[in-house]
Amino acid sequence: MAIPSHFWNFLVQICFLILAFNYECNGQNIPRFSAIFAFGDSVLDTGNNDYLNSIARANYQPYGTNFPGKIATERFSDGKLVPDLLASLLGLKELVPPYLQPNLTDRELLTGNLQDYLKRLTNVVGRQEARRIVNQALVLLHAGAVDFLYHFDVSRTNRRIQFTVNNYQDFLLGKLQDFLKELYDLGCRRIIASNLPPLGCLPITMTVNSPIWGGCIEKINVDTRSYNDKLGNLLPQVQAKLPGIKLVYQDTYGLDLWKLDEDVAVLEFGTSCIPITPICGNASQYFFWDSIHPTEAACRIVAKEILNKLVESN
């Protein structure tokens, strides 16, 4: 999918349109959004990977084990992802289709480039209504994990020669700031930016950096927290410069990821549900489905937390 050349060129970018309305759920006043756009990596991809020339695939079992119909849909998980779950929590729809799906309708419009989206949307509803939809849309932004994993923590490319960790953090945040400005110029005004989870606790990170002893890699978590602190400081500065924009900081790192619900089993963090051995019997007890990607249970926690943030900031 096409993405802005000045943004991360290894970022898989997704955005989707859903018609929305305002309603109350469990006494909470859910804000009204005309559309939802999500930008991120494979954690948010609801199936576009199936139409790309990609080495990494999720179109086979056991992916999709807990998805409706037990279908592997190129979602890198056992079931639904955050976009699906959040759309459901907002009362919009149960599943978010991939933009590259050949038979996608205008109503289910989803694309990997916001400028292309605006062009197609304008053809469907007209220029004025297209601007209104974008202006009243909710934008989800989650990025940076792949950047650090690929260039520093796992693959360790020549970025480690070009940058110190601190400088690379600043480099990525500069690109993020540019991207936020581009979204603003296109009309987006409500954005939730999620920080990074504990990258030192990803199964792939622990395996590569400590294959014998296991356990979270604290040095990587320290670097992750440093990046998150910088992101948290950056967002108010950006908001102050862009009149009318509302940026909400989502603390993914600080979520209580060990507890699914009050009466549900403890969530096991730091291990994956499908290592070399057969898959686990109950994926809902695990945070990771494979060495990088979360289970539906973990995605559900994040989606609920985003909903809470929307209600608090409404």
Q: Which residues are catalytic?
A: 42, 290, 293
Q: Say how many C-beta atoms besides its own lie within 10 A of residue 8's C-beta.
A: 19
Helix/strand/coil percent split, the chain, to 5? 40, 15, 45
The two structure tokens encoding residue 292: 């990088």
Instruction: Write phi, then psi, for 258 (nearest 5 degrees).
Output: -95, -10
Q: Please name the residue ranges forming H helices in the chain.
A: 82-89, 114-125, 127-135, 145-148, 159-162, 165-185, 203-209, 218-241, 296-313
Q: Say how many C-beta atoms besides its own lie within 10 A of residue 25's C-beta.
A: 12
Angle ∠(176,218,266) on CA atoms, nearest 5: 95
Give Cα 280 to chain centroid, integer Å: 25
Own/partner contacts of 238-242, CB < 8 Å, gap of 24 or more, are 238/177, 238/180, 238/181, 242/180, 242/181, 242/184
- Indicate the burial class of 126 (C-beta count within 10 angstroms; 0-12, 13-18, 19 or more): exposed
Beta carbons within 8 Å of 70's beta carbon, 6+ residues apart: 61, 64
The two structure tokens encoding residue 154: 């796992």
